[in-house]
Copies of this chain bind each other. A is one copy, B any other.
Amino acid sequence: MGERPALSKAELEVARVLWELGEATVRQVFEAISPSRKIDFATVQTYMRRLESKGYARTWLSGRTRVYAPSVKPATVIRETVDDLVERLFGGDTLPLMQHLIEDRGVSSDDLAQLRALLDRLEEEGHGK
């Protein structure tokens, strides 16, 4: 099954951009990242090669340019990553993390509304599980 090696922090960042773009060349990812972060083109290239070798992306040559596309859904990676963090940092308990998110980082009123809606939905559709 999913026995991919985990992604490192830097690789995660690249993966996120790749999900966003859906399909991209190194340059496209590089340009999406570089405004906010000083990083070399070749470094991004390495990260993307690693994404592929770890099984998180497919890739092919289009002409003489290599194109990458994610081969694992964000939700999956997010689950694996966050679960691991929650485990180690909170002993498996998610509530403190949510508290931190809600209290220590500003939640916009928009977000508040969204959250409420989410909770309502959850509560409704069966206390089951």
Given contacts A102-B119, A102-B122, A104-B75, contact A95 B82 (CB under 8 A): no
Interface string of A1-38 (1 = CB under 8 A from B): 00000000110110010000000000000000000000
Asked whether A123 is an interface residue with its Cβ less than 8 Å from the other chain, the reply is: yes
Query: Judging by beta carbons under 8 Å apart, are A112 and B119 in contact?
Result: yes
Interface SS of A by simple majority: helix
Asked whether A98 is an interface residue with its Cβ less than 8 Å from the other chain, the reply is: yes
Oligomeric state, in copies: 2
Most buried by B among A13, A78, A81, A112: A78
Residues of chain B lying within 8 A (CB to CB) of residue A82: 85, 89, 97, 100-101
Residues of chain B lying within 8 A (CB to CB) of residue A116: 119
Q: CB within 8 A of A85: which of B83, B85, B112?
A: B85
Q: How large is the interface on A (under 10, 10 to 19, 20 to 34, 35 or more residues)?
A: 35 or more
Most buried by B among A9, A88, A109, A123: A88
Asked whether A99 is an interface residue with its Cβ less than 8 Å from the other chain, the reply is: yes
